Structures are given as C-alpha cells and as structure tokens.
C-alpha cells in the first residue's frame, strides 16, 4: 500500500485486472472498508479494467457488497477454470518486447495473439459466465469499462453513452488473449483492457482523490506498473494504491483464473482492508 498525500477534491475509484481471484480480492477489500465506514461507492467515477470491470458494475450500481462477498466465499458452479500455458506466457512476453514502450503497439501485438486463437473456449460458454457474474445488465452512470482494440491496440473506454451493452463491454474488458474468446462489438474485435496496463490508472489523471485497487500491480516490459503510475499521479492528486499483502498473495497463488481459490482470496482481502483504513480515510 502506497500513500501520496495532498488536499484536493473530486474522487475516482480505479479497479484493476487480476482474473477471477482479482474479483474476489477486490470484493474482500471493499467489504472490509465498508465495515470501517469507508464508502468508496461515493466516487465520482469508477474505472474498471478486466476483473475490475465486474466489481465496478457492482459498486457503480450500488449493489450490496456483503452479498457479493457471500457469493465469493461459496462454490460457484457458473465459473470455469482456466490456466496459462508456457507457450502463451512466451507469446505475451514477446508482445511486450516487440511493442516496446508504445502502449498501442503492445496492445496490437496482444491483438495478434488473440486473433490467432479467437476461441480458446466457447464464446457462448464465456458469455454465460460473464452474465452470471454481473449483478445488473443496466449500465451504471458512473462506470467506465476499458478494452483494447485488437487491430489498433488502442485503449478504449466504454460507458453508458457508448451504445454498447454492458455484457459486451465487460466481456471485452476481460477477454484475455489465448485464455478467453476474442469479443466482437459492432464488427470490431476487442481484447482485455488490462493487457498493457493492469489498472489503466492514468485515466484518472483529472481527478484529485484516487484510490487504486490493483490485484496485479507489476508492470511488464517498458510499460509502467501500478506503483509507477500512482507515483506520477501523486504530483497533482491524493493517491492511495492498494496491492495484495503477503497473505493475499499467498491466497491468490500462481493461477488467477482458478475459481476454487476465490473464497480464501476474498477472506484475505477482507482481512487486509484493516491495514489500509487510515490511509484511505485520510484522502477520501
């Protein structure tokens, strides 16, 4: 957890990517903060990337976080497990190496990976998983959902004015190349919004109080990680970056796409929240 302190005004909540265990961890953190009377629901904007897009729907729609926590600690028959092969990991690293320091180039390289294997699992099966995770299919007003255009590699933000269904937007935001299917919206292909930056925290550059929850804070290649982004943003804003502590890291383990770990991860996140109460209260 990193604190950068200023006294400013408008508030943004940034929810980063991190697989199904990232969802569980963020839900645990948010549940614990609510127990301490810290209401991040009051954010002026909520920026959700991949796992954070699912959690962002719940927060932006005002859904009861205790109910969502209860779902995380129960077996979930609607989820499907996945893993990342050694060859896929090599392809991802190659994307960062080839794309260099240009985020669009990196994104386009990931798009190529997705297009080579557009349906690692059935698109219908994946859609059913996405829909089961969502607490509503109505666009919440404050929510911004990120995805990367598979051809151009450019980061895009979907919101209630985009003319895109919430299911499609969140599906795109979580479409990890080689793990989940490529998502097509209005004839254009999209991949996971967190493949270049796991948080896309710089979308909150115009906000003065920013809380970033980042289950996967590490940067790759020449692309800054969550800590570097938070540090840069702190020049003009109050920023608190929250990343998994030792117990949460242990609970998450090596595979963020394993739904059997969600119960332990959610519980670990809830316990970790006690450590960050003062830091977040001081800026929020």
Domain range summary for the chain, segments of one domain joined by +: 11-81+117-282
Unique residue bearing structure tokens 């920026």: 47
Q: What is the pLDDT at residue 9?
A: 54
DSSP string, 72-133: HTS--TT-------HHHHHHHHHHHHHHTT-HHHHHHHHHHHHHHSS-SS-HHHHHHHHHHH
CB 210 within 8 A of CB 237: yes
- Residues 6+ positions from 86 with CB-CB distance below 8 Å: none
CB 100 within 8 A of CB 153: no
Q: What is the pLDDT at residue 8?
A: 45
Dmax over CA atoms of the chain, in Å, equals 49
Predicted confidence pLDDT, tens digits, the chain (284 residues): 555 544 445 999 999 999 999 999 999 999 999 999 999 999 999 999 999 999 999 999 999 999 999 999 999 889 999 999 999 999 999 999 999 999 999 999 999 999 999 999 999 999 999 999 999 999 999 999 999 999 999 999 999 999 999 999 999 999 999 999 999 999 999 999 999 999 999 999 999 999 999 999 999 889 999 999 999 999 999 999 999 999 999 999 999 999 999 999 999 999 999 999 999 999 99
Distance CA 147, CA 175 (A): 8
Coil, helix or strand at residue 147: strand
Q: What is the pLDDT at residue 7?
A: 45
CATH of 11-81+117-282, one of 2.40.128, 1.10.287, 1.10.3470, 3.40.1090: 3.40.1090
Q: What is the pLDDT at residue 76?
A: 87
Sign for the CA dihedral angle at 218, 226, 99, 47 comes to: positive
């Amino acid at each position: 957890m990193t604190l950068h302190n200023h006294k400013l005004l408008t508030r943004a909540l940034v929810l980063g990517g991190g697989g199904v265990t990232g969802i569980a961890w963020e839900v645990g953190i948010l549940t614990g903060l609510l127990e301490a009377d810290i209401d991040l629901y009051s954010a002026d904007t909520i920026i959700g990337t991949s796992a954070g897009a699912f959690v962002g729907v719940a927060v932006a729609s005002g859904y009861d976080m205790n109910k969502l926590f209860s779902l995380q600690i129960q077996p979930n028959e609607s989820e499907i497990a996945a893993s990342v092969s050694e060859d896929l990991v090599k392809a991802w690293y190659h994307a960062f190496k080839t794309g260099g320091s240009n985020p669009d180039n990196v994104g386009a390289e990931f798009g190529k990976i997705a297009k080579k294997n557009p349906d690692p699992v059935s698109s219908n099966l994946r859609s059913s998983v996405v829909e089961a995770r969502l607490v509503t299919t109505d666009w919440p007003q404050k929510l911004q959902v990120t995805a990367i255009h598979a051809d151009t590699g450019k980061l895009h933000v979907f919101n209630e004015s985009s003319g895109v269904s919430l299911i499609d937007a969140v599906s795109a935001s979580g479409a990890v190349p080689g793990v989940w299917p490529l998502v097509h919206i209005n004839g254009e292909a999209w991949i996971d919004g967190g493949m270049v930056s796991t948080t896309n925290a710089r979308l909150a550059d115009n906000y003065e109080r920013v809380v970033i929850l980042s289950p996967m804070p590490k940067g790759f290649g020449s692309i800054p990680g969550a800590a570097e982004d938070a540090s840069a943003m702190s020049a003009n804003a109050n920023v608190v970056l929250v990343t998994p502590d030792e117990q949460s890291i242990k609970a998450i383990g090596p595979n963020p796409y394993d739904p059997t770990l969600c119960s332990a991860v959610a519980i670990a996140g809830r316990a970790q929240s006690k450590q960050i109460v003062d830091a977040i209260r001081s800026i929020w």
